[in-house]
């Protein structure tokens, strides 16, 4: 395991090698990180640090944890809704990540660009600059700030906070000893909560609802699931019904923050999941990875299924796909409760 993987395993209580040495240091770093976040937040609260406000409303979609909460499908859903309502949204996303090399565009940014087509996605570290450029170039009537709950430089009119109902707050520690970006009390700033993956977290939903209501009684709570919709053939880009996989033996793989949720979705329909390979979050696939996966396929039906985020990074390996079939699973967010509350908050911004 790399140091990054060890730290992530420690933060998620998976017990990496060398934990006895990492844990004390991680606890110290968590304390320092928490102090830094607290000071930064107070700087904005006391107007020592400047908050920028733009001419159109800003909707932030964020969270307080590190890892896959299911935020990207919600950003996509809101963007489509805004466009359907004849609004002109622009998405602002940091969208870059480093890997010991010049920074590359993040999986989330690539997925949003591929899925949304005509809706602009502004990718850049400086989201104040991105917002100004978006207003100049596109004249939007609403800005959608991706992963914005801790981006205090940009004033937001609506703070939507996504909470993974299967693992809401991890072990309760701040990064790097846990997965919390801020202390749980920060949820008092939320305008509305959206619980994701509620079909996988049914047993403790009442406790989670009660905790959120106690922290922030004014914020409505919406609930959602991630529903599989269709397949995309990565060779032809054709869309197929999920029934194509019925009864077939497949190899699935992913490099996302919450691989168990992807596995759980796959098991919802009638397939034989012969092998499920998990790569690190935001994994950059190599020719060797594809070769290993192809060997798996030789043993089964030569059918591979991955996520939309992972699929974006696979196209350069088409020459290695041979006769195998490679698919991405299209997943969309579906609300089971509280959708009207969310739409009411969004609509209020549009008619101001």
Query: Which tokens in the block code for residue 293?
Result: 């996966």
**DSSP state letter for 285:** -
- Taking alpha carbons only, the member of 126, 161, 319, 176 closest to residue 235 is 319
Express each pLDDT in 51-110 by its tens digit. Answer: 999 999 999 999 999 877 889 999 999 999 999 999 999 999 987 654 444 445 677 888
Distance between CA atoms of 146 and 108, rounded to whole angstroms? Answer: 10
Q: Are 250 and 325 in contact (CB under 8 A)?
A: no
Residues whose CB is less than 8 angstroms from the CB of residue 247 and which lie 6 or more positions away in sequence, other chains included: 270, 271, 272
- Taking alpha carbons only, the member of 179, 202, 197 closest to residue 67 is 179
- Taking alpha carbons only, the member of 158, 162, 204 closest to residue 181 is 162
Which helix (DSSP H) or strand (DSSP E) does residue 109 occupy? helix 107-116
End-to-end CA distance of the chain: 52
Predicted local confidence at residue 51, as pLDDT: 95
Burial 194-214 (b: 16+ CB within 10 A, else e): bbbbbbbbeeeeeebbebbee
SS3 70: coil
From residue 279, alpha-carbon distances to 316, 327, 351 in Å are 18, 17, 45
How many alpha carbons lie under 13 Å from residue 14 in its C-beta half-sphere?
10
Low-confidence ranges of the chain (pLDDT < 70): 1-7, 15-21, 96-105, 352
Express each pLDDT in 251-272 by its tens digit. Answer: 999 999 889 899 989 988 778 8
Predicted local confidence at residue 39, as pLDDT: 96
Predicted local confidence at residue 307, as pLDDT: 95
Place of tokens 């993974």: 164
Distance between CA atoms of 228 and 108, rounded to whole angstroms? Answer: 18
User: What domains sit in the chain, N to C, each tagged with a CATH number?
Assistant: 58-226+335-350 (3.40.50.300), 227-332 (3.40.50)
How many alpha carbons lie under 13 Å from residue 299 in its C-beta half-sphere?
9
């Amino acid at each position: 395991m790399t140091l990054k993987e060890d730290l992530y395993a420690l933060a998620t209580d998976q017990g990496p090698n060398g934990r006895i040495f990492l844990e004390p240091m991680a606890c110290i770093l968590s304390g320092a990180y928490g102090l830094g976040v607290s000071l930064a937040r107070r700087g904005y609260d006391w107007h020592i640090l400047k908050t920028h406000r733009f001419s159109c409303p800003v909707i932030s979609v964020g969270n307080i944890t590190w890892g896959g909460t299911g935020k990207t499908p919600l950003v996509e859903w809101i963007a489509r809704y805004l466009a359907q309502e004849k609004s002109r949204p622009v998405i602002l996303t940091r969208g870059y990540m480093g890997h010991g090399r010049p920074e590359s565009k993040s999986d989330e940014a690539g997925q949003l660009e591929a899925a949304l087509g005509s809706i602009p996605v502004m990718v850049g570290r400086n989201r104040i600059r991105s917002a100004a450029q978006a207003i100049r170039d596109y004249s939007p009537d609403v800005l959608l700030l991706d992963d914005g709950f801790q981006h205090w430089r940009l004033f937001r009119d609506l703070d939507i906070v996504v909470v993974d109902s299967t693992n809401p707050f991890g072990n309760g520690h701040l990064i790097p000893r846990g997965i919390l970006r801020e202390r749980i009390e920060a949820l008092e700033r939320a305008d509305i909560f959206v619980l994701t993956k509620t079909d996988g977290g049914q047993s403790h939903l009442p406790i989670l609802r009660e905790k959120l209501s106690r922290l922030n009684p004014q914020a409505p709570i919406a609930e959602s699931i991630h529903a599989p919709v269709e397949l995309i053939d990565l060779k032809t880009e054709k869309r197929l019904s999920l029934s194509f996989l019925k009864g077939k033996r497949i190899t699935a793989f992913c490099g996302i923050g919450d691989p168990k949720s992807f596995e759980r979705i796959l098991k919802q329909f009638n397939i034989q999941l012969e092998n499920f390979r998990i790569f690190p979050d935001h994994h950059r696939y190599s020719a060797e990875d594809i070769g290993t996966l192809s060997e798996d396929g030789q043993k089964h039906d030569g059918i591979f299924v991955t996520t939309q985020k992972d699929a974006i990074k696979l196209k350069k390996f088409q020459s290695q796909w041979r006769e195998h079939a490679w698919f991405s699973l299209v997943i969309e967010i579906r609300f089971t409760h509280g959708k009207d509350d969310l739409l009411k908050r969004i609509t209020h911004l549009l008619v101001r």
